[in-house]
A and B are shown apart, each in its own frame.
Chain A
Amino acid sequence: MVKMNVTLSDLPIGETATIRDIDASTPAGNRLLELGFIPGTPVTALQRAPMGDPATFCIRGYCIGLRRSESSLVSIHPVRRAA
């Protein structure tokens, strides 16, 4: 069940995906909503920190660093393979 749910934390660096849904039941999820992480928004994974966590994401024209615990709240549509 968990495997079926692809989240932002799985997004490979350099790739862009569209947000499918977000768990807004926690303060962190709620804050992400307010920062513009809403369904349908494209988001790009920019860089991962040297020790694997956190990672930076680009959304709505700005960049933000999120830990795995936050980025895994955001479900994304599976990334389509580049043709």
Chain B
Amino acid sequence: MEPVRVFLVGNPNCGKTSLFNAITGERRHVGNWPGVTVDRIEGFRRVGDRELVVSDLPGTYSLTPASPEERVVLDQLDEIAGNTMLNVIDAGNLERNLFLTMQLLELGLHPWLVFNCYDALKASGAKLDLEKVARLTGCRVFATVARTGEGIPALIAALSEPSPAGPSDNGLTVMRLPRPWQSAVETAMPSLFRQSWPNAAPSRRLRAIQALIGQPSPDAHPETESAQELEPVRAKLLQALESAGECVTGAGGLPCRLATDRYDRISRLLKATHKAAPSAEDRGSSDLDRIFTHRLWGIPVFAALIALMFWTTFSLGAYPADAIEAGIEHLRGLGAAHLPDGLWRDLLLDGIVTGLGGILVFLPSVLILFLWISLLEDSGYMSRAAFLMDRLMQGIGLHGRAFVPLLMGFGCNVPAIMSTRLLDDRRQRRLVTLLMPLVGCSARLPVLVLFCGIFFPERPGLTLSILYFINLLVLVTVGRLLSRFMPPLTQAPFMLEMPPYRLPTWRSVKSMLWDKAWHFLEKAGGVILAGTILVWSLTAFPRDVVYSRPYQAEIAALKAASQTAEIAERIAGLEESLARETMERRYMGSLGRALEPLVRPLGFGWREAVSLVPGFLAKESIVSTLSVLYKPVDNDLGTAMRREGMTPMIGFLFMLFTLLYVPCLPTVGVIWRETKSAGFTLVATLLPGVLAWSLTLITATIAGVTRTAPAASSPPGDTVVILVSIVFAVWYLVRRLRADLGGETPCASCRGTSCRVVRSDGENP
């Protein structure tokens, strides 16, 4: 049997995603801030022998799109119209939500009206006569509470009915365009599209209405732009409206008149069906806002929340991490005792167990961080944070809302870059995407925690804060420079809805944590494990190494001699040099030596140089690589590093470098997928590298860092070559950026035929 296609349409934050999850049973995260759904998402549900294919579309306030997300609905309007459309309406915010409904009805569509969050309406003491709504609009009407599942079975049963009852046009005329408007668009239609109103597709009807009122649409189509012939129609409409006693003056003009008419229709509908709550104002919300968005307390409270968030992530996360570490150590011990000596044992213990152990240890921290993010999102606080931060973000040329992706970036850059789609214009999205790799994600945390623990055992927290502060400073400086350097093309309208505060439900938090934990382990299981094995094999091959002196023979000779303390010490010394030389002559050593000139000015040794390579696959693997590489020197990583000449200062520089140096492979992938521009992706990948290198070099020079131990003095030529390449790279990046942010190039990220950038060039005054 044909599957039933169902589309969910509605305002942002009206509960579409919750409803989607409730219908399909799918686990998808739902936040209490606008813009969680950024693209069309499909889910399935089988009812008896019928299949429901449910599509969740991005939230939109109206059919005049203001962002690429809202365009998704418009682009698919004709397809949606041919199937079942669920117009999800937040029952706690009827008037504004019904605006979209009015637009849909005007086009002759028959959405099913789903009044969601119906419990909030009932709890407030308000009443809504659903039967009467159905009668007046001619639509099927449902009441649901998606978060608890109330009303969902009835909706599903109706959706899977063999043939959904056809729409009745009874009373629909009340909700349609009033006569003067309707006759005007019907006159305009043939001259625009050579089609009559009843035959035209809904998207064309919509464009005819927009052309008629001369609406400033970001989506102007060539056919409707030369709408000179509409002047007489318009004049007639104005005359008709005026004779009906409606005054069309002022700056608003026809668009204002039509919007007013839509709201008038909404008021008529609500007057007949809705009994308002005794007290319309939500007391609880405004009380909380008095603290959270207070002029004086707002920012300190926000800062305290963020501080608490990071503090719990690091210090509470340490307890389970210790337990996991002990477990891994135990496993290694077991393996070492029971497995036969050889390559496989080395692979299993030194490659896989060590590598995975190094990742699992950070699972608690990641979970705590995401617990916080999901609580802040679900409660509605994120919108307040964006409100507080907007002015600050304006300083770096960004929307307050951009604060949210940037904050999410501290968790993981990958979803954060995906969430930049909630920003209105392309330039903002690109700017945030470009800045994102400079946001220290949680994968960099292992390196920081490790080095802080080793080199700054007295003040790990302070060191960490200093590093993050420098990170923030770099972020702001780069942002400022970029926005100074590329002034905005269009000032994106700033509209930030403040949803009422909601208590986060355990169901939603749990599903987010489950999602993140799974994502993290999947990454660890896949990319990182592969990286660890690669690193291990580079350290394990070639098996036969040519040594500078016959160590084995010397050791054997010494062992044969008398057992004095002095001899034992010499044996230990020889074994150590043997191990070190083995490591240096394996492939990894050669790779490290090749990379070393690049990082030597920064004070790093070849092991650090090597660890940065798998660090590109996933930042967490820097730690596991270092522990594999330093193992021959000493079992304790800290002791090994100190013995190889690392100082606290170099440790600090290494942390700084790792914090900034390059986005990880999955991030690069996602940048490419989102921007569809190889050049931009290259810039976004290299820019942090150049920055990190220069910044670390400057710091190293100021601090006068030299690596004490086995450092061979670098030939001065190398540094010159590196400096010249850096200058060249910066020059190239600047040129690329101009092209990428400048907007002369047609924008590849737009799915549609036109976008704001193109329009601003082609627009007639």
A39: chain B residues within 8 A (beta carbon): 250, 252, 256, 260
Q: Any chain B CB within 8 A of the CB of A15?
A: no
Q: Any chain A CB within 8 A of the CB of B335?
A: no
Q: Any chain A CB within 8 A of the CB of B685?
A: no
B93: chain A residues within 8 A (beta carbon): 61-62
Whether the pair A27, B493 counts as a contact (CB closer than 8 A) is yes
Closest chain B residue to A38, Cβ basis: B260
Whether the pair B215, A30 counts as a contact (CB closer than 8 A) is yes
Partner of A36, one of B216, B217, B263, B294: B263
Q: Any chain A CB within 8 A of the CB of B62?
A: yes
Whether the pair B293, A56 counts as a contact (CB closer than 8 A) is yes
Shortest beta-carbon distance, B177 to chain A, in Å? 16
Q: Any chain A CB within 8 A of the CB of B362?
A: no
Closest chain A residue to B94, Cβ basis: A61
Also in contact, A33 and B387, with CB within 8 A (given A54-B400, A65-B498, A70-B493): no
Shortest beta-carbon distance, A51 to chain B, in Å? 4
A56: chain B residues within 8 A (beta carbon): 289, 293, 387, 498
Shortest beta-carbon distance, B383 to chain A, in Å? 8
Whether the pair A35, B96 counts as a contact (CB closer than 8 A) is yes
Q: Any chain A CB within 8 A of the CB of B251?
A: yes
Whether the pair B498, A67 counts as a contact (CB closer than 8 A) is no
Closest chain A residue to B70, Cβ basis: A31
Partner of A27, one of B218, B294, B295: B218
* Assembled-state Cα–Cα distance A83/B425 (Å): 46
Also in contact, A31 and B493, with CB within 8 A (given A24-B253, A38-B260): yes
**Contact string against B for A residues 24-47, beta-carbon threshold 8 Å, 1 for contact and 0 otherwise:** 111111111111101111000011
Q: How many residues of A contact B (CB 8 A)?
A: 42
Whether the pair B293, A30 counts as a contact (CB closer than 8 A) is no
Q: How many residues of B contact A (CB 8 A)?
A: 48
**Contact string against B for A residues 48-83, beta-carbon threshold 8 Å, 1 for contact and 0 otherwise:** 111111101000111111110110000100000000
Shortest beta-carbon distance, A38 to chain B, in Å? 5
Closest chain B residue to A75, Cβ basis: B251
Q: Any chain B CB within 8 A of the CB of A10?
A: no
Whether the pair B391, A51 counts as a contact (CB closer than 8 A) is yes
Closest chain A residue to B263, Cβ basis: A38
Shortest beta-carbon distance, B760 to chain A, in Å? 11
Partner of A21, one of B96, B251, B259, B496: B251
Whether the pair B99, A27 counts as a contact (CB closer than 8 A) is no
Whether the pair B390, A67 counts as a contact (CB closer than 8 A) is yes
Shortest beta-carbon distance, A49 to chain B, in Å? 6
Partner of B280, one of A36, A49, A61, A69: A61
Chain B residues within 8 Å of A, Cβ to Cβ: 61-62, 64, 66, 93-96, 99, 215-218, 250-253, 255-256, 259-260, 263, 280, 285-286, 289, 293-296, 298-299, 383, 386-388, 390-392, 394, 400, 491, 493-498
List the 7 closest A-B pairs by CB distance, nearest first.
A28-B493, A51-B391, A65-B496, A63-B498, A21-B250, A33-B259, A34-B62
Chain A residues within 8 Å of B, Cβ to Cβ: 20-36, 38-41, 46-54, 56, 60-67, 69-70, 75
Additional 20 contacts, C-beta under 8 A, given A29-B251, A33-B255, A50-B391: A23-B251, A24-B252, A25-B251, A30-B215, A38-B252, A47-B294, A50-B294, A50-B298, A51-B391, A51-B392, A53-B390, A53-B391, A61-B93, A64-B495, A65-B383, A65-B386, A65-B390, A65-B495, A69-B491, A69-B494
Q: List 16 A-B contacts (CB under 8 A).
A: A23-B252, A25-B253, A28-B495, A30-B215, A32-B495, A33-B255, A35-B61, A36-B96, A36-B263, A38-B260, A39-B252, A54-B387, A61-B93, A64-B498, A66-B494, A67-B494
